[in-house]
A and B are shown apart, each in its own frame.
Chain A
Amino acid sequence: MGIESPTASAYIKHHLQNLTFGQHPDGTWGLAHDAKEAADMGFWAIHVDTMAVSIALGVLFLWLFRKAAKKISTDTPSGLQNFVELMVEFVDGSVKETFHGKSKVIAPLALTIFVWVFLMNFMDLIPVDFLPAAAQWIGVSVFGADPHNVYFKFVPTTDINATLGMSLSVFALIVFYSIKVKGVSGFVGELTLQPFGKWMIPFNFLLEGVGLLAKPVSLALRLFGNLYAGELIFILIAILPWGLQWALSVPWAIFHILIIVLQAFIFMMLTIVYLSMAHEDH
């Protein structure tokens, strides 16, 4: 639990609050001191914790893979190269199975999604209090902050902004490729002329529009929901008496290993499927 023993609901709320940087209502810029202040900052605020952790993990991913790619050899691979080749082959296989066109973007995109999302999800397996407590300690001892005001949410994928940011990028790619492959008229036609022909254009557009918009939203919410729920359960388990926690947190963590990989895989697979659908002409 935290430094002092807060109530259970305060503890949970504290854990689910991002460290937010933005403009206070009085015009000054700074970190929000509680959830209400963070909410008041509106759109022009940024979650420092989500950004820091996700960028650090992204850089870690690219650094590792770049390191292996730089000295890759066609002889017998070993160590890191083995792992990198395994991942690349796995992603390449998944992409080739689903997407039959030619694209230089989709396969690296899928690899980035898979590894990055996996790493961000993986933060969920680190005991819920370790890193926030460390952040709190740094906040208190380095910046002299009030321990109650230091928030740090360590799993970026439990922040809807992170998942929606990725899925909207994917959405942008879907629209881009649809227009590139089918042309503007083809894309508009796809949205309006089916499934019921030209006499039902408004109805078709409503249906297809919802279908199109549902792609990024479902993509983001699925990942967010799974990880948020998983994190919440870890937090709930952490409220239990300390002697009992392992009995629940160990099985849940083991089960969660499956979930974090699966969710990363699903995000990747759906991205490939959506993009290959965008490439297909009806």
Chain B
Amino acid sequence: MNLNLTLLGQAISFAIFVWFCMKYVWPPVIAALEERSKKIADGLEAANRASRDLELAQEQATQILRESKENAAEIIEQANKRANQMVDEAKEQVIADGKRLREAAQVEIEQDVLRAKEALRSQVSVLAFAGAEKILGATIDEKAHSEIVEKLAKEL
């Protein structure tokens, strides 16, 4: 158990080893460890954020779906209303048209009747004259008797 130069030799090699370790071994390893732990922390945070985002998106999606359903219901209701309205309008239109047509027809018919009456009247006078001529066997003054015949015709 002699104390000798080995003591110094060991101290020197120890110092060199520590220096080397401090310079070339420790920094890169510890830097990598720190970087990895930072990476993991970032990853966890990103995952949290993503799940939060997902929740939010799902909420939004539900809301949009609900809104669109409401919209659709409203649109359908409006369409129904409009359809009913159109049907009603059409009905009214048809009724009005029918009425108008009927009235027109009525007017026409009345006119026709009047015209026929008119024609008949004129024919009646001619017939009366012809009949009278035949009955009387003589020419009657058309002018003198037409007043009487017309009077007669008006009574028809």
Contact = CB atoms under 8 A, between A and B. Distances in A.
A162 B13 CA distance: 10
Interface string B47-70: 000000000000000000000000
B14 A165 contact: yes
A34 interface: no
B30 A92 contact: yes
Interface stretch (A41-49, A133-141, A245-253): A41-49
A85 B29 contact: yes
Chain B interface residue bracket vs A: 20 to 34
A41 B4 contact: yes
A47 B14 contact: no
B136 interface: no
Nearest to B19: A108
A17 B53 CA distance: 73
Given A105-B22, A161-B7, A166-B11, 16 more contacts: A22-B5, A39-B2, A41-B2, A58-B13, A62-B25, A66-B20, A66-B24, A72-B28, A74-B32, A74-B36, A88-B33, A107-B26, A109-B21, A111-B25, A156-B10, A169-B14
Interface of A: 18, 20, 22, 38-39, 41-47, 50-51, 54-55, 58, 61-62, 65-66, 68-70, 72-74, 84-85, 88-89, 92, 104-105, 107-109, 111-112, 116, 156, 159-162, 164-166, 168-169
Interface of B: 1-11, 13-15, 17-18, 20-22, 24-26, 28-30, 32-33, 35-36, 39
